[in-house]
Amino acid sequence: MQKPASEKLTAKAKERPSPAPAKYDFMVVSNRLPVDRCSAEDAANDGDGWRRSPGGLVTALAPLMAKSDGAWVGWHGAPDEAVEPFSHDDMDLVPVQLSADDVELYYEGFSNATLWPLYHDVIATPEFHRTWWDAYRRVNQRFADAVVQSADKNATIWVQDYQLQLVPQMLRRVRPDLKIGFFNHIPFPPPEIFAQLPWRQAILEGLLGSDLVGFQRPSDAANFMRSARRFLGASVKQQQVQVRDSSGEVTHIARAQAFPISIAVDQISELAERPDIVERARQIRQDLGNPRTILLGVDRLDYTKGIRHRLKAFEELLQDGSLKVTDATLIQVASPSRERVEQYRILREEIEGTVGHINGTYDTMQNTAVRYLHHSYPVEEMVALYLAADVMLVTALRDGMNLVAKEYVAARTNHTGALVLSEFTGAADQLKQALLVNPHDIDGLKNTIMRAVDLPANESRRRMRTMRKQILDHDVDHWSSEFLAALAEKVVRDDS
């Protein structure tokens, strides 16, 4: 086995001239750059007007960027604005420009109103529009062009997620020298559902431009290979797909494998032991009137997350007296997301209506049933919330992984607390000692919530200790180095 790209890439590290070189031997490509614009006030304090985005992916890849001759290609988040390549936090960033039309058709349309619902068990109905597809192709080509211009010979390129599924093939066509990896952060649907997509062949061919296609779960990889067989007639053996050109010649092998993503476990654990954050957790409990039980939900406000199911179960528990508003509070953090997409607008209205109804019915002057927060918070505040919560509720109807579940476990360094986890998340494959639940089964969900509320301390400790060990052994660095090591491997063709 060759050395992982992550190690090889360190070589050129320190000789990087300033300003940034035009050619890179490691490039990450994702729809969004790993930085956000910061407020005028923050910009005045520390300089360049950008702040590193929170999240595991950037935490894992930033050190590789900084050490190696690497760059990150992505959209900077503002429509119709051209931004020159720049460096931030030791990372070279190559912005891709999107017009307001591109945002509407490629991002809000094809990515988030066609692919997102299709890949998440059609929980919402996917829309199929040819104009959206045209924009998706056009924008994927723009991302591919940005890579082609800046990639050194034989560079390693790692494309991220469903917004950019055509990029691998676009790269391979003009740059067969590149090593191309792709990672799908969301589920890959079974062929019976994928079949609906009018452009299913083009998407499969796009992905198969990769040397290695990574998925969250083995079942996602299996779904992808079944689709390649069914819709392209591809020969699939073991985890290898033989990719042929129009004359039928095998051009390369694309492998499909699971690499479950994780989080920066050390970072979360360290924050969880910081005295100011422990104090903040105490303060949160006190502000809520020190109820016996705090339940917590943390999600992007998305219909895949099962927030309605969670609220329904909680409301019924208040209704039948299993929980009392004086004893139990649910904190629901719902961070704003994709607010211009209609399904998300409808969801927000529904959730806020339901929360208002529950609180109107059960609140007292002192106690609130649901403390609903439509905000995003910095990681420090999130960890304080994880520490304050006795029970974490993750009730997604379908989720590629769900990193919130892993963050909660990472934060519980003293092995207390209970995690209620939907079996429809990728995380359920790894966190087997969670209290697993089918969120569609409201009675089952209610019973599991009550089990979590009353979980004996020794059982909670036993479960939490095993889950913490799992994620300590499999943090996000482990994920990226496993993927890059597999990408660097020489493929032995299985012709048996």
398: contact with ligand G6P by CB under 6 A: no
Instruction: Output 179 or 185, the one with its CB closest to ligand G6P.
Output: 185
The CB-of-123 to ligand G6P minimum distance in angstroms stands at: 15
Nearest-approach distance from CB 57 to ligand G6P, in angstroms: 9
Rounded distance between C-alpha atoms, residue 174 and residue 25, angstroms: 17
Element (H, E) at 24: strand 24-32
d(CA 351, CA 347): 6
Could you write out the DSSP letters of every residue in 157-220?
Answer: EEEESGGGTTHHHHHHHH-TTSEEEEE--S----HHHHTT-TTHHHHHHHHTTSSEEEESSHHH
CB of 338 to ligand G6P, least distance (A): 5
Cα-based torsion angle of the residue sequence 480, 481, 485, 486 in order, rounded to the nearest 10 degrees: -40
CA separation for the pair 125, 112 (Å, rounded) = 11
Q: How far apart are CA 480 and CA 266, in angstroms?
A: 16
CB of 343 to ligand G6P, least distance (A): 13
C-alpha 385/C-alpha 331 separation (Å) is 9
Counting contacts by CB under 6 A, is residue 32 touching ligand G6P? yes
Q: Report d(CA 405, CA 273) in Å as an integer.
A: 18
Binding mask 313-352 for ligand G6P (x = CB under 6 A): ------------------------xx--------------
Helix axes 167-174, 200-207, angle to 10 degrees: 60
Neighbours of 447 (CB within 10 A): 16
- Our measurement of the distance from residue 349's CA atom to the centroid of its chain's CA atoms, rounded to an integer in Å, reads 24
Which residues in the 54-93 window bind ligand G6P by CB under 6 A? Answer: none
Q: Which is nearer to ligand G6P, 322 or 335 (CB)?
A: 335
Shortest separation between residue 263's beta carbon and ligand G6P, angstroms? 13
Name the residue nearer to ligand G6P (CB basis): 186 or 418.
186
Distance CA 57, CA 62 (A): 8
Q: Choose between 163 and 430: whose C-beta lies nearer to ligand G6P.
A: 163
Does 186 help bind ligand G6P (rule: CB under 6 A)? Answer: yes
Nearest residue to ligand G6P, scored by beta-carbon proximity: 185
Q: Per CB under 6 A, which of residues 10..29 are in contact with ligand G6P?
A: none
Please give the angle made by the CA atoms of 75, 80 and 86, to the nearest 5 degrees.
Answer: 45
Q: Minimum distance from CB of 359 to ligand G6P (Å)? A: 28
| Nearest residue (CB) to ligand G6P, 219 versus 337 | 337
**What residues contact residue 440 under an 8 Å CB cut-off, 6+ apart?**
309, 397
Least CB distance from residue 333 to ligand G6P, whole Å? 15
Q: Which CB sits closer to ligand G6P, 32 or 406?
A: 32
Length of the chain measured in residues: 496
Residues near ligand G6P (CB under 6 A), total: 6
CA angle 418/448/416 to nearest 5° reads 10
Give the dihedral sign, CA 164/28/486/424. negative
Residue closest to 76 by CA, chosen among 96, 58, 99, 49? 96
364 CB-near residues (< 8 Å, 6+ apart): 325, 326
Residue 32 or 309 having the CB closest to ligand G6P: 32
Q: At closest approach, how far in Å is the CB of 404 from ligand G6P?
A: 11
Taking the complex as a whole, how short is the minimal distance between the CB of residue 361 and ligand G6P, in angstroms? 33
- In angstroms, give the least distance from the CB of 344 to ligand G6P: 10
The smaller minimum CB distance to ligand G6P, of residues 99 and 337, is found at 337
Nearest to ligand G6P of 50, 314 (CB atom): 50
Kindly state the tokens that stand for 488: 């660097």
Shortest distance (Å) from residue 55 CB to ligand G6P: 8
Least distance (Å) between residue 21 CB and ligand G6P? 28
> Measuring CA to CA, which residue among 340, 413, 332, 347 is closest to residue 377?
332
Task: Using DSSP bridges, classify how beta strands 328-335 and 240-244 pair: parallel, antiparallel or unpaired.
Answer: unpaired
What six digits make up the tokens of 485?
A: 């090591």
Q: Which is nearer to ligand G6P, 68 or 160 (CB)?
A: 160
Interacting residues with ligand G6P between 146 and 175 (CB under 6 A): 161
Residue among 172 and 185 whose Cβ is closer to ligand G6P: 185
Chain residues binding ligand G6P by CB under 6 A are: 32, 161, 185-186, 337-338
